[in-house]
A and B are shown apart, each in its own frame.
Chain A
Amino acid sequence: AQSVTQLDSHVSVSEGTPVLLRCNYSSSYSPSLFWYVQHPNKGLQLLLKYTSAATLVKGINGFEAEFKKSETSFHLTKPSAHMSDAAEYFCVVSPNTGNQFYFGTGTSLTVIP
């Protein structure tokens, strides 16, 4: 069975400080993992993906995530938050043998000026 747990429903950071959004997954198969961002009234946009290559994945807008199999984690980080980063972030797992995406419940990121 596949599932995703996003450990924080809300995260607030000050502009210019680091961002950490936490995600743990459960998968019966070697999974692909993704982070998507959803800005208000806009579609989901892919930030980055892990598909069994390098464990440290770099994405768009300065975001990166590290796949840690021993911890079943795929946390999203960014060294310095920008006001435009305020949005809803979703961690997603997909078993490589299948075609479904399993979304977490989302983390709402607030960036304080």
Chain B
Amino acid sequence: ETGVTQSPTHLIKTRGQQVTLRCSSQSGHNTVSWYQQALGQGPQFIFQYYREEENGRGNFPPRFSGLQFPNYSSELNVNALELDDSALYLCASSRSVGLSYNEQFFGPGTRLTVL
């Protein structure tokens, strides 16, 4: 059973650019959540995807968007990058039956630096 994987591991962008981060969920998991972890802070929930649709969103602007694919992998897209977007972006997958709750398994993250 493979765990959650994320790519790339590190990324450097400049202000105003766009970025796409990728996540492959753990085998058997159909739900993916994305989190932003700024330096020295706890992860902040961005959004969750279940059955290819957004299933909850945190307090992030619309320039943060996502996709989930039929194989349950996911992308996080951020447009018009700002310096404050520099953070570790974490993906987590879980096995959700309807909306019942299950443990989330986290990937190692993508470190995004915006210059």
Q: Which residues of A contact B (CB under 8 A)?
A: 4, 32, 34, 36, 41-46, 49, 51, 90, 94, 96-106
In the complex, A97 Cα to B56 Cα: how many Å?
12
A4 to chain B: closest residue by CB:
B42
Give the docked Cα–Cα distance between A73 and B41 (Å).
Answer: 21
- In the complex, what's the smallest C-beta–C-beta distance from B41 to chain A, in angstroms? 6
Residues of A within 8 A of B41 (CB): 105-106
In the complex with contacts A43-B4, A99-B56, A101-B33, A51-B101 CB distance below 8 A = yes
Given contacts A41-B108, A98-B56, 13 further A-B contacts (CB under 8 A): A43-B4, A43-B90, A46-B103, A51-B101, A99-B31, A99-B33, A99-B50, A99-B99, A99-B101, A103-B35, A103-B44, A106-B40, A106-B41
User: A42: which of B35, B96, B108 is its contact (CB, 8 Å)?
Assistant: B108
| B residues apposed to A, CB below 8 Å | 3-4, 31, 33, 35, 40-45, 48, 50, 55-56, 58, 90, 92, 96, 99, 101, 103-109
